[in-house]
Amino acid sequence: MANTKYDEKDAVVSADTSKETMDHNESFPEKGVAVNRDYAGAAEKTDPEEIRLVRKLDFRIMPMLVFMYFLNYIDRNTLAQARLDDLEKELGMEGEYQFNTTISILFVGYVLMQIPSNMLITRVRPSIYMSSWMVVWSIVSACTALVKSYSGMVVCRFLLGVTEAPFYPGATYLLAIFYTRKEVAARIAVLYCAQILATGFAGLIAAGVFKGLDDARGISGWRWLFIIEGCATTVVALGGFFFLPDTPSTTRWLTARERELAHDRVEKDTMGEGNSQKIPVMEGLRQAARDKRTWIFCLMQNFHLAACCFNSFFPTVIKTLGYPKTETLLLTCPPFIFAAAGAIFTGWSSGRHHERTWHITGGLGVAMVGFIIASSTLNTAGRYIACFIFPVGAYSVNSVIIGWVSSTLSQTREKRAVVLAMHNVAGQIGYIYGAYVWPNYDKPRFAIGFGVSAGFAFGAIVCAWWMRTLLKRENRRLKEAAGGGDCELLWVLIEGEVKGCCFGGRSFLYYYYYYY
């Protein structure tokens, strides 16, 4: 274990040292004693009963979440495909930035709604909360087909952002209460692949709709696209009410023993009184805001998603290759399938090698190369190859970043929920201004868009190394304060306040090291 790299400590406060507490926490180690933990700080899984439970959770939870998130991005990105079916001409959209505004305004609504939504999700059943919002956004998406003007499109896009905002942070929160820290990273990677594939398959769906339904019953193909995708989302949302679980203790399709095991293993993994007892929602917000690591992660994700803003303009970029509409839409799919494979490999490699910073550096470095090539040539083959390179690099690191955030900042459930929302909000802000670096006048080369995106990618790399340096320093300081030793986790007798978690009396401070 001495050669394994770990990042920072995550301080979690246990109950006080009364006999009752000690009886409840029978596995408390002595000070300075190492516990058999894996690289993420979670207990190694060797119990066949637990292995069967995790497989059952995967079979029941992941398909529904993946399908819901797939449709979340399908509905969000429909506008990018609709642009190729004369949407701008039909709505009278003129000027260099009107289309950019319809892209950007969605994320304004998304940002305004996301943190309030995630502060409430700890007080509402996730199955009802997430599915209800999905029904609402599906209605907004379908009603976009009724839009007659640019201003109407702006209003619909804003409302779509507001109604889509609760889903993703709610999904990551739901995963965090059913899975351990190590397990969550892999599931988030799977969830994220649904987003990538949705961006790719949106082109295939649009190609079929435009070819088969354009002007059917006097309705434009792009309007049919909004209607069909909105109705499909409604059907799936209704299924979410019945298939999504709420908490391990209330899940009907688990046996009594499985419910007990599902609850206890997550509690053991987080090992904190703060994680099992509710605190005021505003206290969770205060804890998140006071932790400087929150803001570094937010800046990192902001730069990263600003670099990913090309996804809303990808069909327009592919159109510069000179192919007809249907062929252009079909050509948008393969790069994102390739990107999904890259994201899976990067997530696996990050876990396998217990490392994050170099994976982020490598992935975004590849994206920078792709951006530079794409801006440097209008050759059909060269530009299309570049359109494989920058998506695979840019999309490969998101699950690594989110897993890093989730495992680092989770002292309490309320703090974890707020941190995930803040992190996601910071990323969406990148989409708000990132949409404006792709103006119409920059066609066909899009040198501004590709050049600025390369700069954003570099900024995210800088943030990753900043975080790595900070966590190494904190590890060293806390290890020295605890008395040294090469153990992976230590218990230290302390009093007072730790990491924003207030408690009274004498308590044990539990901390461990994550990989960076």
pLDDT of residue 64: 94
Superfamily of domain 48-475: MFS general substrate transporter like domains (1.20.1250.20)
* 3-class state of residue 13 by DSSP: strand
pLDDT tens column, 391-418:
999 999 988 888 788 777 765 666 777 7
pLDDT tier at 498, thresholds 50, 70, 90: very low
Query: In this structure, which amino acid lies at residue 34?
Result: A
Residue 4 pLDDT exceeds 70:
no
Express the helix, strand and coil content of the chain in percent, nearest 5 each: 75, 5, 20
Contact 416, 288 (CB under 8 A): no
* Arithmetic mean of pLDDT over the chain: 81
Give the integer Cα–Cα distance in Å for 221 and 64. 29
pLDDT of residue 12: 37
Residue 15 pLDDT exceeds 70:
no
Residues of the chain within CATH 1.20.1250.20 domain(s) are: 48-475
Tell me the sheet residues that pair with 507: 16, 494
pLDDT of residue 192: 85
pLDDT tier at 277, thresholds 50, 70, 90: low
Question: In this predicted model, which residue has the larger pLDDT, 14 or 122?
Answer: 122
Give the integer Cα–Cα distance in Å for 510 and 493. 9
pLDDT of residue 483: 60
Q: Is the dihedral of CA 258, 261, 264, 268 positive or negative?
A: negative
Question: In this predicted model, which residue has the larger pLDDT, 130 or 403?
Answer: 130
pLDDT tens column, 463-493:
999 988 888 887 777 666 656 554 444 444 3
Cα angle value 137/142/145 (rounded, 5°)? 135
The listed range with the strongest mean pLDDT (155-164, 245-254, 282-291, 496-505) is 155-164
Q: Which residues of 405-422 are buried (b: 16+ CB within 10 A; e: fewer)?
A: bbbbbbbbbbbbbbbbbb
Give the integer Cα–Cα distance in Å for 334 and 108. 30
Give the integer Cα–Cα distance in Å for 374 and 388. 10
pLDDT tier at 281, thresholds 50, 70, 90: low
pLDDT of residue 352: 76
Structure tokens, 287: 């804890």
Question: In this predicted model, which residue has the larger pLDDT, 395 or 270?
Answer: 395
Nearest to 83 by CA among 427, 295, 325: 325
Tell me the sheet residues that pair with 497: 502
Give the integer Cα–Cα distance in Å for 270 and 489. 13
Report pTM: 0.80
pLDDT of residue 133: 94
